[in-house]
Amino acid sequence: MTSFSGKTLEAIDYAAELICKAKHIVALTGAGISTPSGIPDFRSEGKGLWAKDEPLEVASQTTFRTHPEKFFEWFRPLASSIFEAQPNEAHQALAALEQQGKLQAIITQNIDILHQKAGSARVIEMHGTLATLTCTQCYKKFEYHKYLNAFIESDLLPHCSICGAILKPDVILFGEQLPQKAWHEAQAESRKCDLMMVIGSSLEVLPVAGLPMQAVDRGAHLIIINNSPTYISVRADINIYEDVAHIVPAISQLVLNHER
């Protein structure tokens, strides 16, 4: 059992109170919700993926088009981490809130499918997904299981079984636009909600980082659970700078106990 300070317990209680009173709740999640599952994040100082590699050199649309093998060489260890990862307590807690009718949508910056694995049904993926790959020539979509497993285990680059062209994981690379359907859904949810929870995101990547501002400008409450402050922390009702895998389940349990 995790022990919390008195200040943190007060914040957890207040967060649960806001959730119980809210009518339309949206969660915005970033890499910090998945690091407890063993997936490295991108921007942590000294240990994030971008501390080791220049993103435009390995994860850009241009690199994939001209040197796809360079992209896949960089991508292989990340894909392996994601392929092996399992949802942690924070993912499961959000799924439980959704199943209880307390959470209407999850907007995620992650590509790891862990929300879906945990049982969440309404997940808006802003930066794409590792669940599918698309042929770069005939645009046929394929499920990730067969291709990524062979890629991770044998370093076999994924090729289309129909036309033979290389397959691209359906993740958003530098130089690509956000998926428009997801972006419109995320904006609509941010403007509709009366409570937004930001979980494990430093809110440094636009345009997704602007969604909490759209929510609070329309009167929504804001809860931030992250390891460090964000640009909008000053406008949040609650800021909890602790491990999301401990805090989110604690809040969820209080809400679910209250609802019973």
Q: Does the N-terminal peptide bond of residue 207 adopt cis geometry, omega within 30 degrees of 0?
A: yes
Q: How far apart are CA 35 and CA 252, in angstroms?
A: 19
Beta bridge partners of 19: none
Residues marked active site are found at: 127
Q: If we measure between CA atoms, which residue out of 27, 16, 25 comes closest to residue 194?
A: 25
Q: Where are the alpha helices (DSSP H) in 113-243?
A: 114-118, 144-154, 180-192, 211-217
Rounded to 10 deg, the angle between the 68-84 and 144-154 helix axes is 110
Query: Other CB atoms closer than 10 Å to residue 100's CB: what's the count?
Result: 13
